[in-house]
Amino acid sequence: MLARSSAQSEAQSDVSIRRTLFVAAFVVFWMLGISARLVYLQVSSHDRLVDRAHRQQQDAIETAPQRGPLLDRRERELARTIDTTSVFVAPDEFKTEKKETEAQTLGEIDCTADRLSSVLGLNQKELADQITEARKNGRGFLWIARRIDPDQAQALEAMELPGVHTRKEPKRFYPNGPLAANVLGFVGLDGNGLAGIEQAFNEKIIGEPGKLFIEKDSRGFAYESTEIPGRPGQTIVLTIDQSIQYTAEAALTSAIAESHAKSGTAIVMDPHTGEILALANAPTFDPNNVGAAPPAARANWALQNIYEPGSTFKIVAYSAAIEKGLAKPDDHIDCQMGSITVAKRVIHDHHPFGNLTLTEALAKSSNVAAIKLGLRVGDPTMYDYITRFGFGSRTGIELPGETAGMIHPVSRWLPSSIGSIAIGQEVGVTPVQMAAAFGALANDGVRIAPHIIREIRSATGTSIYRPNPEQHRVISKDTARALRGMLEGVTLNGTAKKAQLDGYTAAGKTGTAQKIDPQTKRYSNTKYIASFVGFAPVNNPAVVIIVVIDEPAGAYHGGDVAAPVFRQIAEQILPEMGVMPDTEFKNANELVASVREAPARDAKLQNQIEEEKRASAATLPKVVSRANSGEVVYAVSTNKSMLMPDLRGRSVRDVARACAQLGLQLEAHGEGRVVKQTPEPGTELQSGQTIFVDFGRPN
């Protein structure tokens, strides 16, 4: 009995041990499985699960990057980025817990859409459908309106609509409106540049985008947002001078209006550096409101428009002939009373000329003389000098859309081509190419590639790029100086008398080219392109200016239509650039009147730029003459004595004009604007007395 009991006890003990071992083994295997799963989830699937959790709990929106500013050469803002308000909806915030309340949710969406559309001017039904569709698809974000007006933003924020949110978003703003619009370009809704500098340097300007994270609770409602700012874009400093650009645009716009022309272009360039100081097109557009401008106004005709240059192209034949020793400026040439035959083609002058010197022939723009020089030079050499001046190739200016022009290789020239090409026909050039070619003459025969970028800076202000433009010698210094003297004769005795400057010598060449009629494919008798290219002063040119007027009505010659625009631009910008006059003033009364109006003109110009009002023919207020009042004084007292004007801050030109009118002798030092004068303002002076003026530039 005891033995049986002992055996049963041992059997029960064995069962308990087996059960215990089984349970222990199960627990161990269960723990190992859990541990393996945890290891798998925490290690192998960590990133995937974290990303999944973030997607469920957080919406990440890429924010628009902060574009870098565009500055003129004097650090004045031409384009900057401002903060605006954009509106979006979180569709998944319109949720229902029970099916019977779905109608209420849809009603809430309709109500929200109605209030949004009333403020933003949107279609209520389309907006409600968009929100409903986004909600069905599980979308957590839907843009409603981008970069709205401040008044609209304020109204929406006051409504506190459910599911509607606002956020700050950058917008490109051009403080000067249409000023230099074709140079600057514009930016699309997505923040990318679509024209001009904005497009050409988009990758550098655009910067890096930031992130906006929207945190959501378990029901999908947003309760918090965090924004990581992006990196601002680089700063582009242009060679453009805002004041010179304004002057060029105002003069060009006025000329287009007066001549009822189709369009026009004006370029101001420094021939010694290749820097473009102004590039104007008319008509133009406001980059703040691009949608209102037709495509033609947005095109940059200064480098996209190919035109036959006409007589301005004659500098190639003259330069080649003089450089090769085939002619001299004072050599005589028979202009054959205005007619010449080249390969059975008869070409006429605009007036019958007989025997002229080369200087006289250029001044009178004789076609016969230019053709004879082209025949002396020959086809291959002529083509060589055409390419030396840069025609037929892009200049490399840092703007999109530049064309290379149209220059056929010699193998495609007809027997009569040399006669046409010598006078600027059968070739197509751009205004910027022609400006660069005359820049070579102004720069003693060295052509420097035109460029419009002066510097690129990082977001921290560090300079990371400065241009090193290509340059090469086109003609010798002697030939260039000989051509400059001959071109001065064009303004003094030739076809460009209206280009003569008051106080400065000037040189240049007119062009009057017939356009090709698209229907007849022949030269039109009613449509012309009038142009003038010149530089000043003659001995040491500070600027090259080209003016091209397309299809002027009435007067159509370059000397009548384009040359006055050159004069208007040059007479205003040369004194502002600190260029000393190199010839006598012609009309003292007009000079003094201009001096009296100068302070008011400068102030008005600045106000117009700041307020985006650019009326080109505004009436300037008169300045009252008072001694020691802070205003410029040009009042002459009785008994042959006068009061010393307050010249401080005035340009060289203004000072020279005042002294010329008042009969004072001027001893000047430096360049720029007046920083010091002797005697002091208000001091009594005698006619013929010498005054001492120091010029300088502000730091």
Q: In this predicted model, what pLDDT tens digit does every residue of 352-372 receive, in sequence order?
A: 999 999 999 999 999 999 999
* Residue 4, domain member (yes or no): no
- Same domain, residue pair 668 and 568: no
Query: Which percentage of the chain shows pLDDT scores above 70?
Result: 82
Going by DSSP bridges, is the β-strand pair 463-465/523-536 parallel, antiparallel, or unpaired?
unpaired
Taking only the tens place, the pLDDT of each residue in 599-647 is 454 455 455 545 543 433 333 333 333 333 333 333 333 344 567 777 8
Long-range contacts of 103-109 (CB under 8 A, 24+ apart): 106/132, 108/162, 109/135
Residue 310 is predicted with a pLDDT of 93
How many Cβ atoms sit within 10 Å of the Cβ of residue 596? 24
- Residue 393 makes CB contacts below 8 A (sequence gap 6+) with 387, 404, 405
Range of the domain at 103: 61-69+80-177+214-232
Q: Within 13 A of 159's CA, how many CA atoms are on the CB side?
A: 23
Taking only the tens place, the pLDDT of each residue in 195-229 is 999 999 999 998 887 776 666 665 555 556 666 77
- Same domain, residue pair 172 and 253: no
| 158-162, 195-199, 263-267, 499-503: least confidently modelled range | 158-162
- Same domain, residue pair 280 and 228: no
Q: How far is it, in rounded angstroms, from Cα 558 to Cα 168?
A: 52
* Average pLDDT of span 113-128: 79
Question: Got the DSSP string for 287-318?
Answer: GGGGGGS-HHHHS-HHHH--B--GGGGHHHHH
Last residue of a domain, one of 576, 599, 619: 576
- Same domain, residue pair 504 and 547: yes
Residue 8 is predicted with a pLDDT of 63
* Average pLDDT of span 661-686: 78
Q: How far is it, in rounded angstroms, from Cα 544 to Cα 96?
A: 72
* Average pLDDT of span 10-35: 77
How many Cβ atoms sit within 10 Å of the Cβ of residue 139? 15
pTM, two decimal places: 0.74
Q: How far is it, in rounded angstroms, from Cα 605 to Cα 364?
A: 38
* Residue 581, domain member (yes or no): no
Among 216, 224, 232, which residue's Cα sits nearest to residue 58? 216
Return the residue matching tokens 């004069």. Answer: 567
Q: Is the separation of the CB atoms in 509 and 533 below 8 Å?
A: yes
Query: DSSP code of 417?
Result: H
Q: Is the separation of the CB atoms in 49 and 132 below 8 Å?
A: no
* Average pLDDT of span 486-490: 95
pLDDT at residue 471 greater than cutoff 60: yes
pLDDT at residue 490 greater than cutoff 90: yes
- Same domain, residue pair 144 and 282: no
Residue 697 is predicted with a pLDDT of 67
Domain containing residue 135: CATH number: 3.90.1310.10
Going by DSSP bridges, is the β-strand pair 235-238/263-269 parallel, antiparallel, or unpaired?
unpaired
Last residue of a domain, one of 542, 576, 610: 576
* Residue 101, domain member (yes or no): yes
Residue 661 binned pLDDT confidence (cut-offs 50, 70, 90): low
Q: Is the separation of the CB atoms in 524 and 577 below 8 Å?
A: no
Among 143, 148, 140, 150, which residue's Cα sits nearest to residue 127? 143
Q: How far is it, in rounded angstroms, from Cα 433 to Cα 405?
A: 9
* Average pLDDT of span 108-135: 79
- Same domain, residue pair 144 and 228: yes
- Same domain, residue pair 261 and 406: yes
Residue 411 a catalytic site member = no
- Same domain, residue pair 248 and 225: no
Last residue of a domain, one of 549, 576, 603: 576
Residue 659 is predicted with a pLDDT of 75
Query: Which percentage of the chain shows pLDDT scores above 90?
Result: 49
Q: How far is it, in rounded angstroms, from Cα 201 to Cα 454?
A: 13
- Residue 74 makes CB contacts below 8 A (sequence gap 6+) with 241, 242
* Average pLDDT of span 558-568: 95
The b-or-e profile of 641-678 (16+ CB within 10 A means b, else e) is ebbbbbbeebbbbbbbbbbbbbebeeebeeeebbeebe
Return the residue matching tokens 């820097």. Answer: 275
* Residue 449, domain member (yes or no): yes
- Same domain, residue pair 684 and 549: no
- Same domain, residue pair 246 and 226: no
pLDDT at residue 133 greater than cutoff 90: no
Residue 625 is predicted with a pLDDT of 30
Of the segments 165-179, 590-604, 679-693, which one has the largest average pLDDT value?
165-179
* Average pLDDT of span 560-578: 93
The DSSP element (H or E) to which 78 belongs, if any, is: strand 77-89
Q: Is the separation of the CB atoms in 684 and 643 below 8 Å?
A: yes
pLDDT at residue 696 greater than cutoff 90: no
Tokens read off for 396: 């490399």
Residue 214 is predicted with a pLDDT of 67
| 114-123, 212-221, 263-272, 678-687: least confidently modelled range | 212-221
* Average pLDDT of span 527-548: 95
DSSP reduced 3-state for 481: helix
Distance of CA 560 to the CA centre of its chain: 29
Domain containing residue 322: CATH number: 3.40.710.10
* Residue 417, domain member (yes or no): yes
- Same domain, residue pair 599 and 678: yes
* Residue 18, domain member (yes or no): no
Residue 347 is predicted with a pLDDT of 92
Longest dimension (CA), the chain: 160
Q: How far is it, in rounded angstroms, from Cα 31 to Cα 421?
A: 94
Domain containing residue 615: CATH number: 3.30.10.20
Facing residues of 355 across strands?
334
* Residue 383, domain member (yes or no): yes
| 280-289, 325-334, 648-657: least confidently modelled range | 648-657
Q: Is the separation of the CB atoms in 115 and 161 below 8 Å?
A: yes
* Residue 350, domain member (yes or no): yes
Residue 145 binned pLDDT confidence (cut-offs 50, 70, 90): confident
- Same domain, residue pair 571 and 602: no
* Average pLDDT of span 35-64: 70
> 86, 263, 311, 417: which is the annotated catalytic residue?
311
Residue 382 is predicted with a pLDDT of 96
- Tally of domains in the chain: 3
- Within 464-587, where are the H helices? 477-493, 558-561, 563-576
Mean pLDDT of the chain: 82
